[in-house]
Structure 1
Amino acid sequence: MTTIWRLLLLFLALHCSYAIAQSQIVIQLAKPIYTDAVKQQYIHKILTKSFAAVNADIIIRYDSQPMNDKRIVEQLSHNKAITLAWLSLPSQLSNTLVKTTIPIYKGLHGKRLLIIHKKEQLKFKAIKNLEQLRPLLAVQQQSWSDYDVLKANGLSVNGELDYAGMVKALESGLADYFPRSALAIGVELQRLQQTNFVIAPDIMLQYPNDYYFYLSKENQNIRDLLEQGMQKIQQSGELEQLYLQHFGDVEKQFSLSQRHIINLKNRE
Structure 2
Amino acid sequence: MRRRDWLPAALGLAASPALRAAPPLRVIYPRPPREVDPRHWYPLQLLEMALQASGVSFELQPSADIMVQSRSLLEVAAGNEAVHIAWSMTSREREQRLLPVRIPLYRGLYGWRLLLVQRDSLERWSQVRSLDDLRKLELIQGHDWPDTEILRANGIKVNPASTADARINMLRAGRGAGYPRSVLEIWEEQGRQRDWARIEPRLALHYPTAMYYFVRPGDTRLAGLVERGLNRLLADGRFEQHFEQVYRGDLRQAGLRHRRVIQLSNPLLPPQTPLDRKELWYRPA
TM tier, shorter chain?
A: 0.7 to 0.9
Q: Which residue of 1 aligns with 2:240?
A: 240
CA displacement 1:181-232 (0-9 Å, x = unmatched): 1111112122333x40000120011101111111112321111111111111
Q: Which residue of 1 aligns with 2:96?
A: 95
Work out the CA distance in 1 between the residues paired with 2:177 and 2:205.
Answer: 15
TM alignment of 1:108-257, pairs within 5 A: 108-160=109-161, 162-193=163-194, 195-257=195-257
| Bigger mean CA deviation after superposition, 196-205 or 30-39 | 30-39
Work out the CA distance in 2 between the residues paired with 1:123 and 1:116.
Answer: 10
User: Does the residue aligned with 1:212 lie in a helix, a strand or coil?
Assistant: strand
Work out the CA distance in 1 between the residues paired with 2:132 and 2:34.
Answer: 33
Runs of 5+ consecutive residues of structure 2 not aligned to the other structure: 1-12, 269-285
Provide the aligned length of Structure 1 versus Structure 2.
Answer: 255
Q: Which residue of 1 aligns with 2:23?
A: 23
Work out the CA distance in 1 between the residues paired with 2:45 and 2:170.
Answer: 37
**Aligned residues of 1:142 and 1:148 also touching (Cα < 8 A):** no
Q: Which residue of 1 aligns with 2:263?
A: 263
Q: Report the CA distance shift for 1:161/1:86 in structure 2 as closer, same or farther (over 3 A).
A: closer
CA displacement 1:146-200 (0-9 Å, x = unmatched): 111111111111114533232222212232111111111112122333x400001
Work out the CA distance in 2 between the residues paired with 1:180 and 1:62.
Answer: 27
**Aligned residues of 2:144 and 2:162 also touching (Cα < 8 A):** no
Q: Report the CA distance shift for 1:59/1:128 in structure 2 as closer, same or farther (over 3 A).
A: same
Structure 1 stretches of at least 4 aligned residues deviating more than 6 Å after TM superposition: none
Work out the CA distance in 2 between the residues paired with 1:64 and 1:190.
Answer: 31
Work out the CA distance in 2 between the residues paired with 1:197 and 1:73.
Answer: 31
User: Does the residue aligned with 2:239 lie in a helix, a strand or coil?
Assistant: helix
Q: Report the CA distance shift for 1:126/1:37 in structure 2 as closer, same or farther (over 3 A).
A: farther
Q: TM-score with structure 1 length normalisation?
A: 0.85
Work out the CA distance in 2 between the residues paired with 1:189 and 1:18.
Answer: 54
User: Does the residue aligned with 1:30 lie in a helix, a strand or coil?
Assistant: strand
Q: Report the CA distance shift for 1:266/1:33 in structure 2 as closer, same or farther (over 3 A).
A: farther
CA displacement 1:107-159 (0-9 Å, x = unmatched): 11110011000011111112111111112121112112211111111111111
**Aligned residues of 1:124 and 1:201 also touching (Cα < 8 A):** no
**Aligned residues of 2:31 and 2:66 also touching (Cα < 8 A):** yes
1:83 shift after superposition: 0.9
Q: Which residue of 1 aligns with 2:44?
A: 44
Work out the CA distance in 2 between the residues paired with 1:217 and 1:124.
Answer: 44
Work out the CA distance in 2 between the residues paired with 1:172 and 1:101.
Answer: 39
1:35 shift after superposition: 5.1
Please report the RMSD computed on the Cα atoms of aligned residues, expressed in angstroms.
2.6
Work out the CA distance in 1 between the residues paired with 2:104 and 2:183.
Answer: 16
**Aligned residues of 2:184 and 2:251 also touching (Cα < 8 A):** no
1:55 shift after superposition: 2.1
CA displacement 1:77-118 (0-9 Å, x = unmatched): 111221111222212320232222322111111100110000
Amino acid at match of 2:143: Q
1:31 shift after superposition: 2.8
Amino acid at match of 2:110: H
